[in-house]
Chain A
């Protein structure tokens, strides 16, 4: 109820929720929207209409046109939605898990354990994120799993920091002292009383990070270490458009569709997660609800 009232008052947030739901629907109904053909080994292999090098404009056969090498852009954008959800939610879920464990252990044990763990966090923070992820993906090979591993390896630290500082803050609150006074064990305190309250800021961060992780994953594909050739992945399709930015003389926008459709997909996806994250923060943190 509170959520609905908030959305009614904030049309921009509502817009974010609507786009996000639209993407969920596209991902769920991908087999209906862009049915894979029977000879395809995997639905994520984008079908191609021939091997012509030059992209072809939108036509009845290919609603969004085709890329270089004739990959169907509409198919790539639709199935790319699934790829985006898989990578975004996968990376964030694993990162939150690792970060929560590290942050909770550091806050719980304190002393040397905390010092060591937080210094490890510092070291990972000093790593150039995109370059490190590129190296790891290049080592592990192409595909979604290597991308997820790489982005998680270098992306869990902020959750550890937040969880730790939230636990330290909440631990000193009155209701915790009360719970301790009637004999709750430390573990019970952490898991049942402290962590649930510490998760709100994590939730906000995770929501916003889902969009930005998809951005990073697409960037990996764009830089040439992401997914395999022809895999339904927005970054890959944007990478294809790069060679066709300059049209023929007299027709500079000749290949507009190669960039416009996959570009709009990434943009709207990230935008929707950011708007939803923003709304969550407003709702959970009274200080921001002006």
Chain B
């Protein structure tokens, strides 16, 4: 098992290298002048006319061959310098690190109910196959599965912000932002709800939750569908297995067999899917964060991509690949805990 984990981890540098090469190649498709913008300390430097632009291209070696430029670039990254993000107006690593807690907070709050709901609904649908709970749950998941996130998110805004004024967009209200930015408020983690509790400020905690509610509902609904489907299918296959029939035959109550014997084993395929979903969500819930103006990694990544802010795009890409590989690894390591048979293989 350890051997396997190490082999998986050794893939990571290869993936990261290929990824950096890919993003750099995309960047090189821009003209040297366009790429120069990333180096200019201020926009005024680019107003100096053709001569100064040419001089700066020379100075930063933007006309050098591909491999020399790549080597220089990757050298900086290996020393921990991810470069400067034009969009964030701060170093890429600083921007990513300051936004990470916001996304983590949102994802955790959405993922936990999502997982519980999927297990509950999926196993119910499997148990009540082709009876009304199954039909209701199937329709609910098919609708959720087809709902575009941005349409559902905008509906949430329409109902809970425009009409009811319960859940405003953003991360905090103006007054709360002032408190959080003040020196009295200690930023332990960067996640507003956690920091509010640690500072003992319940008003801030409530305000943060108010802003989190709509994106959390949106994320939960659009993500619960696929997980519920997997859970249902897997529950159906488990319920048809011999050991389930044996358990029933020896007189165990139906409930006990269904919920204790079958559901536990039906969780296996869900673990894989849930791990992947979590990885993708951690990689930035781009559309949801954009709609609700929630300043997290996803919204940042979308802005940098639209602005062709390459240092930031690369930084985000590397972060995403690391999360994905690690998450797959964690799922693989959890597997033997759920199913002891896996260990022996």
List residues of A whose CB falls within 8 A of some B CB. 12, 119-120, 122-123, 125-128, 130-132, 134-136, 138-139, 211, 215, 218-219, 222-225, 235, 238, 241-242, 245-247, 252-253, 256, 259, 263, 266-267, 270-271, 274-275, 278, 287-288, 290
A271 proximity list for chain B (CB < 8 A)? 142-143, 146
Q: A126-B15, A126-B19 are in contact. Are A131 and B154 (CB under 8 A)?
A: no
Q: A126-B15, A290-B236 are in contact. Are A252 and B162 (CB under 8 A)?
A: yes
CA distance A139 to B301 in the complex (A): 15
Q: Does B145 belong to the interface (CB within 8 Å)?
A: yes
Assess whether B161 is in contact with A127, with CB atoms less than 8 Å apart: no
Q: A245-B154, A247-B162, A266-B151 are in contact. Are A131 and B143 (CB under 8 A)?
A: no
Q: Does B70 belong to the interface (CB within 8 Å)?
A: no
B311 proximity list for chain A (CB < 8 A)? none
Prevailing SS type, chain B contact patch = helix
Contact indicator per residue, chain B 1-31, by CB within 8 Å of chain A (1) or not (0): 0000000000100110011001100100110
A139 proximity list for chain B (CB < 8 A)? 26, 29-30, 308
What's the minimum C-beta distance from A49 to chain B, rounded to whole angstroms? Answer: 24
Assess whether A135 is in contact with B305, with CB atoms less than 8 Å apart: yes
CA distance A55 to B94 in the complex (A): 41
Q: Does B313 belong to the interface (CB within 8 Å)?
A: yes
What's the minimum C-beta distance from B324 to chain A, rounded to whole angstroms? Answer: 5
B161 proximity list for chain A (CB < 8 A)? 245-246
Q: A131-B284, A135-B313, A290-B129 are in contact. Are A256 and B158 (CB under 8 A)?
A: yes
Assess whether B287 is in contact with A263, with CB atoms less than 8 Å apart: no
B151 contacts which of A252, A267, A287 (Cβ < 8 Å)?
Answer: A267
Q: Does B163 belong to the interface (CB within 8 Å)?
A: yes
Assess whether A135 is in contact with B308, with CB atoms less than 8 Å apart: yes
Number of A-B residue pairs, CB cutoff 8 Å, is 133
Assess whether B306 is in contact with A267, with CB atoms less than 8 Å apart: no
Assess whether A222 is in contact with B287, with CB atoms less than 8 Å apart: yes
**Stretch from B42-50, B107-115, B171-179, B315-323 forming part of the interface with A:** B315-323
Assess whether A131 is in contact with B321, with CB atoms less than 8 Å apart: no
Assess whether B150 is in contact with A270, with CB atoms less than 8 Å apart: no
A219 proximity list for chain B (CB < 8 A)? 148-150, 286-287
Assess whether B151 is in contact with A259, with CB atoms less than 8 Å apart: yes
Prevailing SS type, chain A contact patch = helix
Lowest 8 CB-CB distances: which A-B pairs, in order? A134-B305, A271-B146, A252-B163, A263-B151, A252-B162, A126-B321, A123-B18, A270-B146
Assess whether A127 is in contact with B22, with CB atoms less than 8 Å apart: yes
CA distance A164 to B197 in the complex (A): 51
CA distance A175 to B145 in the complex (A): 39
22 residue pairs bridging A and B, Cβ less than 8 Å apart: A125-B324, A126-B321, A127-B19, A127-B320, A128-B283, A128-B317, A130-B287, A138-B306, A139-B29, A211-B146, A215-B148, A222-B287, A223-B287, A225-B306, A238-B151, A252-B163, A259-B151, A259-B155, A266-B148, A267-B151, A271-B143, A271-B146
Assess whether B286 is in contact with A123, with CB atoms less than 8 Å apart: no
Assess whether A270 is in contact with B148, with CB atoms less than 8 Å apart: yes
A135 proximity list for chain B (CB < 8 A)? 23, 26, 305, 308, 313
Assess whether A138 is in contact with B308, with CB atoms less than 8 Å apart: yes
Contact indicator per residue, chain B 151-194, by CB within 8 Å of chain A (1) or not (0): 10011011001110000000000000000000000000000000
Q: Does B325 belong to the interface (CB within 8 Å)?
A: yes
Assess whether B302 is in contact with A128, with CB atoms less than 8 Å apart: no
CA distance A265 to B162 in the complex (A): 23
